Amino acid sequence: MDEACPVGRKTKGPSSSRSWDAVANWYIGWAGAEGSRHHRELAIPAAMRLLALGPGERLLDIGCGAGALAPSVIAAGAHYCGIDKSRRLIAHGRRHHGNEVPLLVGDAARLASSSSLRREGFDAASFLLSLQDIDPLEAALASARWALRPGGRLVILMTHPCFRIPRQSGWGWDEARGLRYRRMDRYLTPLDIPMQEYGRKGSRGRGTTRSYHRPLQSYVSALADAGFVIDALNEIPAPLPPGETRALRLSSEEFPLFLAIRALKHR
């Protein structure tokens, strides 16, 4: 049993709102326990390259959902532990992956409060398409630092904050030049953006999940303030099926879908 994340131990969940519980069935229907097509073909391979896990190393997947990253980590010979605020996503992951994959209910911004985790118990940590749904950023990064050993590495993979801002960016078409361009309406201002609605109209349980846009400088500054040093950054375009027009291929190649950052715990 991995002492850093004991298998099968169920911890008391956070007392604050768990809005993703309300949309867990929708999310699982879209992504499944092993991730959507973009997870499987782009996000997970990119994260695994930066994590560079060796046999026996321990990874903490923060905001893990149903544990889509687990099979790849286990295939690399490393130990996986996932933690997420949504009890329903964790329950689905436990049913899918079985008891050999430790999945815990807990708050990404308060990892030290989990009795199942120990300080500096992990060689690596990841936010796989989760950090943009977590607020406050500073608390989440400080929490990740708490879990990492000295010199441990943190990999953040997110939709690109410079080009993919929900409700504030999109594609446009320049007829005269025959080009598809990326339109940006907002960027520098941090935004709290409502996303997936849940609950019936007029009911007390009605609400939305949230996405938190932050400019790139916010991530760099927050990582430095938390005691991390960035040592790798990759920008990942979305692939297009064969046969698409040159204009579509060019715009997809030039405007990345994902941004991946690796940072080392410095102090």
**Percent of the chain at pLDDT above 90?**
72
Give the global pTM.
0.89
**What per-residue confidence (pLDDT) applies to 33?**
73
Whole-angstrom Cα distance, residue 182 to residue 54? Answer: 39
**Is residue 190 a part of any domain in this protein?**
no
**Is residue 181 a part of any domain in this protein?**
no
Contact present, 140 and 108 (Cβ < 8 Å): yes
Q: Compute the CA torsion angle 166, 209, 211, 224 (nearest 10 deg).
A: -170
**What per-residue confidence (pLDDT) applies to 190?**
96
CATH number of the domain that 228 lies in? Answer: 3.40.50.150
Whole-angstrom Cα distance, residue 127 to residue 129? Answer: 6
Whole-angstrom Cα distance, residue 15 to residue 31? Answer: 26
Conformation bin of residue 80: beta by default, left when phi > 0, alpha when psi is -120 to 50: beta
144 HSE (CA, 13 A, CB side): 36
Contact present, 57 and 124 (Cβ < 8 Å): yes
pLDDT band (50, 70, 90) for residue 8 = very low
**What per-residue confidence (pLDDT) applies to 11?**
43
With a CB cutoff of 8 Å and minimum separation 6, the contacts of 204 are none
pLDDT averaged over every residue in the chain: 88
Contact present, 235 and 161 (Cβ < 8 Å): no
Q: Over the stretch 125-172, which tens digit does the pLDDT of each residue have?
A: 999 999 999 999 999 999 999 999 999 999 999 999 999 999 999 999
**Is residue 149 a part of any domain in this protein?**
yes
Q: Over the stretch 49-80, which tens digit does the pLDDT of each residue have?
A: 999 999 999 999 999 999 999 999 999 999 99
Whole-angstrom Cα distance, residue 27 to residue 73? Answer: 22
**Is residue 140 a part of any domain in this protein?**
yes
Q: SS3 string of 189-227? A: CCEEEEEEEECCCCCCCCEEEEEEECCHHHHHHHHHHCC
pLDDT band (50, 70, 90) for residue 255 = very high
In the predicted structure, residue 1 carries a pLDDT above the cut 50:
no
**Is residue 248 a part of any domain in this protein?**
yes
- Split into its structural domains, the chain has a count of 1
Whole-angstrom Cα distance, residue 13 to residue 185? Answer: 38
Q: Over the stretch 85-138, which tens digit does the pLDDT of each residue have?
A: 999 999 999 999 988 899 999 999 999 999 999 999 999 999 999 999 999 999
In the predicted structure, residue 14 carries a pLDDT above the cut 50:
no
**Is residue 205 a part of any domain in this protein?**
no
Contact present, 166 and 211 (Cβ < 8 Å): yes
**What per-residue confidence (pLDDT) applies to 19?**
58
**Is residue 176 a part of any domain in this protein?**
no
**What per-residue confidence (pLDDT) applies to 37?**
75
pLDDT band (50, 70, 90) for residue 13 = very low
Structural domain for 35, as ranges: 19-162+214-265
CA distances from 205 to 21, 65, 118, 255 (A): 11, 21, 35, 38
**Is residue 200 a part of any domain in this protein?**
no
